[in-house]
Structure 1
């Protein structure tokens, strides 16, 4: 006898709490194998294909393409045959961006709460939460379930989650949410979770924080509402939200774009940055690259040469390969260079990271830049390839601009910007000549060093650009 199992959006790792459905890979009625990818989702880090731990016939899908779901929300149901050995599916779950067996499975909730680690419950069992069967979105139009129990309509008043018992564990969707509550002295036991089975989401903690400041704004807010309501003929009738602009379009800040917005805002709030810049004659660097590429072997990219110059400069000025621990009030100087580089994609700006860039030569750097750039364009970068950078190289010259004052990629301490290389009048060996000139800029965290160090770093980079032979000292 077939049983219908429900598969929920699993923990995607890296503290991610939600994902947007980009593309369904299966239709209702399709037969799926164990651990076969069934849906492609977008998180704040990357695109992910989510595998289903059950094999059988897809009976329902929950969520349209473009819908955003929290971890633990139903994705689909699968009708499976009666197990012969008492097992159900592979039992594997998605941890980070790959499946793991039960022995390595992480616990997502404590005792007494529903599982959200990707393991589905049988609809109809005594311990299944009511909303798992009745509150999920209806299947995609035209894709009615082909087997399994009938989904009953949702009740008029859905069950209300209650705060955690005084002595019991508190169900929280991720450690980041727990940390947010702890840092802001929010008692999680006093909150009512809005997630599945009363799960406390980040939005619940943020709502509690907003409620704290609400009394201070009550008088002013009431005055605004009363004034607006009177003008409309009914006092107090003004909406609480800001009016929409006439003819404007609202674009949600979510996914990669939302993550970038949050990170840039945090950088501006926390990092006291400063910028210095210099023009450099890149003629000899371009000639050196031409000579390298004239010999047999892989072609060397300009970005790889600039990266090699960066790692040599960071070896001389390690202060800029640092981060600031604000809680401990310490500067953490790092001994490895993980070089990030800005890459513009259709999904927004991403910063892939080249691991241990200080140990790579120009050929290795060229190959890794090409691999990561292609992965960025196709949306297949993993969280590990997008995090952990210690210094960023930003080649905004590809956009046809000469200079910029970029925002430091938090929690790093500096970013080198490179403008376009263009022919310009330049005094060379005492005579006016047309040379290939580039503008270099360094934006740095003023907490980790002063202008002398930053200027020394930038001047060394410029010297290597003007005279590539300077790099021979570090080879």
Structure 2
């Protein structure tokens, strides 16, 4: 038997450490090469770690929530044969003619003796496994699922190996179908009679990052918010007309139209589309609009970024929104998808409420929050009419943006939205 030390590899430029957010194996489990063993979170993304060799897990680096350094041991695997200790990256298995034996180094770092190689020899006949039946039963085909689906299944106590996937990976829809029809328990309504037990939840992974970032934002940024109401009746009429003739293009929500309106308005208010470097003491006013979209996922809030939003039309923006939102929710968003924003928009859709006071996504200096659209009686030219109204919120960094600037920006944006012909004018 041999031992294979799998060290945490370099998983991103400038990354020195990563947090263990999920273990998919435990000590004693048998694993196959390329089987998912852990999810590691950096400041930029969640990365799935896969077993580099077949074998038995004999040691793991820590518990979920622990942070380990790049290059330190992630897992120790007991293997069939004499794989070398200390291997950091996944490498092809050594053929029987090149078996190596590595001797641990002395404390001063010098090896006690040189590595020896055996001479070529015929490949030995397969040896019957002597593993206990219980250990053999732990070997199973790896389950393919995103970290978000795995986390949800874990919280629900669902064994993903029992869930049937419609594609290569198990998705939320597959898990929903299993819960509703395939679990053998039938439909289980949740009633007020069902008492929920107290539970202690460790704050790890994305939830911990959100907590740290939000606390730093509120601690360092003097927030102020401004709210105004906007008549979106004409905008909604245009959206309905566009959807009626969209063909194969994605259905438009109000968000792409709002983004174009923001892009039309920002050039006159460069202080809104900016980043503030606290340590250097300077503000960078960006020409391009890299718009972050606050997106709720099963694992917490993520902010994928539409790059160069000012160059996109409403149909292109609709495609970008659908693609990035899905990537954020299923865990496939890349580091590039989730970084580089200069301004953020956050919307709760039908849950938008009357007004919001969103927290700024530091080091940005502003965040825009459209609220729910409702029909209300409004006096127009002395007559009572039913109009579609929406409150628009904005939170700004008072160190960079004055209240007058924020109010002026919202008033200019309101003018474009209430006269949506301006959205499509040159």
Q: How far has the Cα of 1:376 moved from its partner?
A: 2.0
Over residues 215-271 of structure 1, what are the superposed CA-to-partner deviations in whole Å (9 max), with x where a residue is unaligned?
A: xxxxxxxxxxxxxxxxxxxxxxxxxxxxxxxx9754333211111111111111211
**C-alpha displacement of 1:315:** 2.2
Residue in 2 that maps onto 1:60: 58
Offset, 1:308 = 1.5
Match of 2:77 in 1: 77
Cα distance change on mapping 1:360 and 1:330 into 2, 3 Å: same
* Within-5 A mapping of 1:403-422: 403-422=355-374
Residues in 2 aligned to 1:457 and 1:42: alpha-carbon distance in whole angstroms? 41
Q: Which residue of 1 aligns with 2:236?
A: 286
CA separation of 1:431 and 1:46: change in aligned 2, threshold 3 A? same
Tell me, what secondary structure is at the counterpart of 1:320? coil
Encode CA deviations 1:351-379: one digit per residue, 9 max, x unaligned. 11112212211111111111121122223
Unaligned runs of 5+ in 1: 94-120, 130-141, 147-246
> Are residues 1:38 and 2:36 paired?
yes
Residue 272 (structure 1) aligned with residue 222 (structure 2): yes
Matched, 1:17 2:41: no
Distance change in 2, residues 1:362/1:80 (3 Å): farther
Residue of structure 2 equivalent to 1:444: 396
CA RMSD of aligned residues (A): 3.4
Alpha-carbon separation, structure 1, partners of 2:364 and 2:401 = 13
Structure 1 residues 23 and 366, CA gap change in structure 2 (3 angstroms): farther
2:212 is the counterpart of 1:262? yes
TM-score of the pair, normalised by structure 2: 0.68
2:316 is the alignment partner of 1:317: no
SS in 1 for 2:206: helix
Does the CA contact (< 8 Å) of 2:45 and 2:334 recur in 1? yes
Aligned equivalent of 2:104? 125
Q: Determine helix, strand or coil for the equivalent of 1:318.
A: coil
Q: Does 1:49 align with 2:48?
A: yes
Deviation at 1:122, TM superposition (A): 8.3
**Contact 2:61–2:73 (CA under 8 A) maintained in structure 1:** no
Equivalent residue, structure 2, for 1:117: none
Cα offsets for 1:266-304 (capped at 9, x unmatched): 111211222111101111111111111111231222211
The 3-state SS of whatever aligns with 2:211 is: helix
Separation in 1 of the partners of 2:295 and 2:102? Answer: 45
Post-superposition shift, 1:3? Answer: 4.2
3-state secondary structure, aligned to 1:463 = helix
Q: Which SS does the other structure have where 2:412 is aligned?
A: helix
Distance in 1 between residues matched to 2:88 and 2:221, nearest whole Å: 47
Separation of aligned partners in 2, 1:258 and 1:57 = 33
Cα deviation 1:435-475 (Å, max 9, x = unaligned): 110000111112223222212211122122211112234x4
Contact 1:416–1:440 under 8 Å retained in 2 = yes
Corresponding residue of 1:453: 405
Q: Structure 2: which 5+ runs fail to align?
A: 92-99, 109-133, 139-196
Give distance in 1, aligned partners of 2:76 and 2:307: 37
The Cα shift of 1:89 comes to: 8.0
Using the TM superposition, give the Cα deviation of residue 342 of structure 1 relative to its aligned residue in structure 2, in angstroms. 1.1
Determine if the alignment matches structure 1 residue 435 to structure 2 residue 414: no
- When structure 1 is superposed on structure 2, of 377-386 and 19-28 the one drifting more is 19-28
| Aligned with 2:281 (options 317, 320, 329) | 329
Q: Distance in 2 between matches of 1:74 and 1:272?
A: 41
Kept in 1: contact 2:65–2:205 (CA 8 A): no
Q: Deviations over 1:397-432 (max 9, x none)?
A: 432412111111111010111110010111224311
CA–CA distance in 2 between the matches of 1:273 and 1:38?
A: 42
Quick one: distance in 2 between partners of 1:449 and 1:371? Answer: 32
Distance in 2 separating the partners of 1:339 and 1:42: 27
Counterpart of 2:3 in 1: which secondary structure? Answer: strand
Cα distance in 2 for partners of 1:459, 1:354 equals 24
Question: Is the CA contact 2:230–2:391 (under 8 Å) kept in the aligned structure 1?
Answer: yes
404-413 vs 39-48, which moves further:
39-48
The 3 A distance-change label for structure 1 pair 282 and 9 is same
Q: In structure 1, what is the Cα distance between the partners aligned to 2:279 and 2:21?
A: 37
Question: After the TM superposition, which residues 169-188 of structure 1 pair with which residues of structure 2 at under 5 Å, given as runs?
Answer: none
TM-score, scaled relative to structure 1: 0.61
Q: 1:250 to 1:56 in 2, by over 3 A?
A: closer
For residue 152 of structure 1, what is the aligned residue in structure 2?
A: none
Partner of 1:134: none
Q: Closer, same or farther in 2 for the Cα pair 1:451/1:59, shift >3 Å? A: closer
Question: What is the match of residue 292 of structure 2?
Answer: 340
Q: Distance in 2 between matches of 1:269 and 1:74?
A: 34
2:292/2:305 contact within 8 Å kept = yes
Inter-partner Cα distance in structure 1 for 2:107 and 2:65: 24
- Secondary structure of the equivalent of 1:441? strand
SS at match of 2:265: helix
